[in-house]
Structure 1
């Protein structure tokens, strides 16, 4: 069966011509390949007056009705859904997370509707640039050909249990740089629970990084054993043997220029970059303020955890 299509201007011109020649509705339908009911409905809806049919007038009426025939926005101001979405964005959640949480609250909305509302500036005080952490970001590679780290253990030496993510305590780590000479942050993420651990470092000097790593794990929100740590090959981790002794763990190094081998840590650092974009002066960021941001990220629901936050996931695991 042929699918239904709207009348075009050329079809309306033909219809006007046939009507002026005195042809009947059924005959016009056969000539135009349309059903008689479609011809009759077109004439009744779009006559300039009850007697005359004009193709241009009919097309104008059609366009006018089409513009009025628009679905009402699901996300409208002064509704409970609108207020709830704004509250979720204040927690820096993504549209996908917000859409899932809305369903749990009894609201019917998809993440595409939330993205559309942002694009059309229908959420007060929010835009794609301010609410979406990846909007407009460009990646500029900086590939060094030398490796300043001479690891004892590589990623290929890790126990199989690390790959399966079946236990807590296996961390991926890296540094988040600020501006030149403006300090950095060290971050570690548990592969199973996605719990973020971190601290501020005033420089990338090896001893400073070592102290910052020890402080980061001392400030960990949920105490857990440190089974393994997987790092990249940055020169700031050159004192890894002493770091192993400090934490009582084993450090493994990923391949050179292979961030996907620590994908969880890279993704979590991207979350952190929402609060501390490139060029941030970490020297002016207090440890207390930094830990508040870490708590905010650890309270963020994750799709891979069934939309539980890392803190909720660990609390449920401890209770079972």
Structure 2
């Protein structure tokens, strides 16, 4: 800002001295601090006694410094790209891009004004958005439903598009959970965050499984299943319980991420899995069940009987290639929030599975634009309803 009677403020003088010491031309310094070049020349000759630290303020660690802002300005004046400037600073390109955009773009950017703006913002922090109120209640409720902070934030934008007070970033939700003293979210809600998945087996290892007769490999699956544009192509798997003695089957539709859970209270033999699959798909319209993709587990040794009875082909992934069933693998990770590893799955009732299934199908997915699988399925069915 300007000093009294139109003179340069102490901050402007400090910045001008810094730039002059770095070899900037007087005319460029004058443009940067919004004054005349002769005035800069006078200040440069008479103001060397001033402390060169700008504003008497330094940003907290990780934030842009005045030196970095000056380098951004120099890069802009040279015509450098944001990528080149970011590489020189050792910063992310997005950091440089946001800084310049906030500062008026390439034509209007000022290092001095950018640093002054950052200082003022640091001195006037915004009130913490999740301190209390209806937004807090809704975030807490969805965390208790095992939604991730990113899912919550995105869904709030959809559900409250006309109410800015009911929107919050996922970073703020994480802060409210993990930064001491901020917000009122109960500490136990942190347990609702998704835990990391156990490391997969190296791709080169073997598990001694025998080859299943009559398999049709994934490479022969219809091409329409690959782009997910047509619903009806499912991926299946088992998740195992304590000691691998119990299991639950999962079927996930590739386009909508709709999930069906197979109840296997009496074991995971091929006969029991085949019967559970037939029961699950019997509730679906024929247009929604075209193919199933599974891995080469022994539970699929009755695949031919299933196909003969239902007319639905089963395609098999390559050995140790769970990424070929990506939708199913992701859903299994979500399912582990409800049924952690080590759970005895044989005692989980059909009613409990139905409740978990409904929860999964009512949970927004990033890959669906934060619609839920149920909403996405309704979109597909609407034209034919």
User: Cα–Cα, structure 1 residues 92 and 181, in superposed 2: closer, same or farther, change >3 Å?
Assistant: closer
Structure 2 Cα separation of the partners of residues 73 and 172 of structure 1: 43
Superposition pairs of residues 10-89 of structure 1, within 5 angstroms: 30-32=48-50, 34=52, 71-77=126-132, 79-89=133-143
User: Cα–Cα, structure 1 residues 76 and 223, in superposed 2: closer, same or farther, change >3 Å?
Assistant: farther
Structure number with higher helix proportion: 2
Structure 2 Cα separation of the partners of residues 234 and 74 of structure 1: 49
Superposition pairs of residues 1-320 of structure 1, within 5 angstroms: 30-32=48-50, 34=52, 71-77=126-132, 79-104=133-158, 105=160, 106=163, 107-120=166-179, 122=183, 123-128=185-190, 130-135=191-196, 137-139=197-199, 141=201, 143-150=205-212, 151-180=214-243, 182-201=245-264, 202-218=266-282, 224-320=287-383
Structure 2 Cα separation of the partners of residues 217 and 91 of structure 1: 27
Provide the aligned C-alpha RMSD in A: 3.1
Structure 2 Cα separation of the partners of residues 97 and 285 of structure 1: 27
Please list the CA deviations of residues 269-304 of structure 1 after superposition, one character each: whole Å capped at 9, or x if unmatched: 111111001111111111111011101100111222
Please list the CA deviations of residues 97-153 of structure 1 after superposition, one character each: whole Å capped at 9, or x if unmatched: 21122223222321111111121364114343x121124x43252742544233431
The number of residues matched between the two structures is 270
SS of 2:318's equivalent in the other structure is: coil
Pairwise CA distance, 1:223: 7.0
Once the two structures are overlaid, the 10-residue window that deviates more, 209-218 or 119-128, is: 119-128
Pairwise CA distance, 1:226: 1.7
CA contact (8 A) 2:241 2:345 kept: yes
SS of 1:31's equivalent in the other structure is: coil
Structure 2 Cα separation of the partners of residues 204 and 193 of structure 1: 27
Please list the CA deviations of residues 52-76 of structure 1 after superposition, one character each: whole Å capped at 9, or x if unmatched: xxxxxxxxxxxxxx99865432211
CA contact (8 A) 1:181 1:203 kept: no
User: Cα–Cα, structure 1 residues 141 and 28, in superposed 2: closer, same or farther, change >3 Å?
Assistant: farther
Structure 1 runs of 4+ aligned residues shifted over 4 Å read: 1-4, 25-29, 66-71
Query: Please, which runs of 5 or more residues in structure 2 have no aligned partner?
Result: 1-11, 16-42, 58-120
User: Cα–Cα, structure 1 residues 223 and 96, in superposed 2: closer, same or farther, change >3 Å?
Assistant: farther
TM-score by length of 1: 0.75
Structure 1 Cα separation of the partners of residues 239 and 14 of structure 2: 56
CA contact (8 A) 1:226 1:247 kept: no
Please list the CA deviations of residues 146-203 of structure 1 after superposition, one character each: whole Å capped at 9, or x if unmatched: 4423343101011111111121110000001011264211111111111101212132
Please list the CA deviations of residues 23-66 of structure 1 after superposition, one character each: whole Å capped at 9, or x if unmatched: xx99995135538x958x9xxxxxxxxxxxxxxxxxxxxxxxx9
SS of 2:262's equivalent in the other structure is: strand
Structure 2 Cα separation of the partners of residues 168 and 26 of structure 1: 71
SS of 2:306's equivalent in the other structure is: helix
